[in-house]
Amino acid sequence: MNRIKITYLTLFFLLFLSVFISLGYGKGFYELLKGFSCSEDFCYVLKKIRIPRTIFALLIGGSLSICGVTFQSILRNNLAEPYTLGISGGASFGIALSLIFELNSKAGPFANPAMGFLGAMCSTYIVFLLSRKRFFDPNQIILFGIVVSLIFSSLVFFLFSISDPDRMHGIILWLMGDLSGFESDFIVFYILIFLIPAFFLFFLNKELDVLSLGYEKARYLGLNPDTGYRIFFIITSLLTAFCVSVAGIIPFVGLIVPHILKIVLGTGSKHILFTSYLAGASLLILSDTFSRYVLYPLELPVGVVTGISGGTILLLLLLKRR
């Protein structure tokens, strides 16, 4: 059995195990199965809280990971991640505006995610326009993304300084990454908006491989680099914006997962994309489960857990690299 098959089997088992732990923590296997059909309190908790939250963690973890693969490939930089284009800064600014003007109470539960999404797409559009003037040079794209993110982050701190501190608790929690604010009634809608862009990334894996060779080589091989960059920027930005607007900023998932799988599997976007989705989903599900119960009844923001664990793993990988 080759390394690719072993990796797939391992990751499928890890995903199954992480889902089981997330759904059945504190309960036995029989009690978990019984919870799907009974009318007890655990049945309600399972169907209304644990299952939707596990699905959210799976979708967001997998989406961030494949966005990380895409950015690392087209930017040819293993330190690129889904927030490279300043998406986190733009989304933070949008959420801050929504909280300050209390749009959630006026426009419904989708106001905060919608404003976060608009802010994320605004920052991405600015970076895209600037990058086009530099022919999508990877180093320039990263620099533009950092600068745009810093500008939006500074605007957020400006809003902090002039606003009522009581209103800022929500955005501070959101900035640390939080899966507790999901709307379980709209789970089908969320599944669609996360899976459709992911499907396109899986389908375009060959084009991603060509773009990873660089601008000139991609043109030589018959691919229009400008169109290719534009398509991948749009898809990954949409997917990352969905993740950020729903769950806030969850660091390191889109950075560490592709990095490890490239070490294990080597190059080739097809298998890296699929395995990254499985690994990212498992990582975020386990991190969310840990964040819920490590200080029970208090709940840690999941971004704190992924930041500490992901940062530690990345440091160990860098120290072991020759």
> What is the pLDDT, as a whole number, of residue 132?
79
pLDDT at 166 over 80: no
Q: pLDDT-derived band of residue 196, with 50, 70 and 90 as boundaries?
A: very high
Least confident piece of the model among 88-102, 132-146, 173-187, 221-235? 173-187
Q: What is the pLDDT of residue 112?
A: 76
pLDDT class of 57 with cuts at 50, 70, 90:
very high
Residue 182 has pLDDT above 80, yes or no: no
Say how far apart CA 55 and CA 48 lie, in whole Å: 12
Give percent of the chain with pLDDT exceeding 90. Answer: 20
Residues 150 and 81: beta-carbon distance below 8 Å? no
**At 179, is the pLDDT very low, low, confident or very high (cuts 50, 70, 90)?**
confident
Provide the pLDDT for residue 39. 56
What is the average per-residue pLDDT within 186-211?
A: 90
Q: Please list, in sequence order, all residues whose beta carbon lies within 8 angstroms of the beta carbon of residue 102, skipping any fewer than 6 positions away.
A: 167
Per residue, the 3-state secondary structure of 64-87, as one string, reads HHHHHHHHHHHCCCCCCCCCCCCH
User: Above 70 in pLDDT, residue 29?
Assistant: no
More confident residue, 198 or 292: 198
**What was the pLDDT predicted at 212?**
86
* Higher pLDDT among residues 89 and 43, named by residue: 89
pLDDT for the residue 33: 61
Q: Is 58 in contact with 284 (CB distance < 8 Å)?
A: yes
Q: State the virtual CA torsion across 113, 114, 120, 123 in degrees, nearest 10.
A: -150
> Which pTM does this prediction carry?
0.90
3-17+47-320: CATH topology is: ABC transporter involved in vitamin B12 uptake, BtuC (1.10.3470)
Is 26 within 8 Å of 292 (Cβ atoms)? Answer: no
The 10s digit of each residue's pLDDT in 85-134 is 788 888 888 888 887 787 777 776 677 788 888 888 898 889 888 887 77
Query: How far does Cα 296 stand from its chain's mean position?
Result: 25
pLDDT-derived band of residue 321, with 50, 70 and 90 as boundaries?
A: low
Tokens of 66: 């494949």
- Position 85 scores a pLDDT of 77
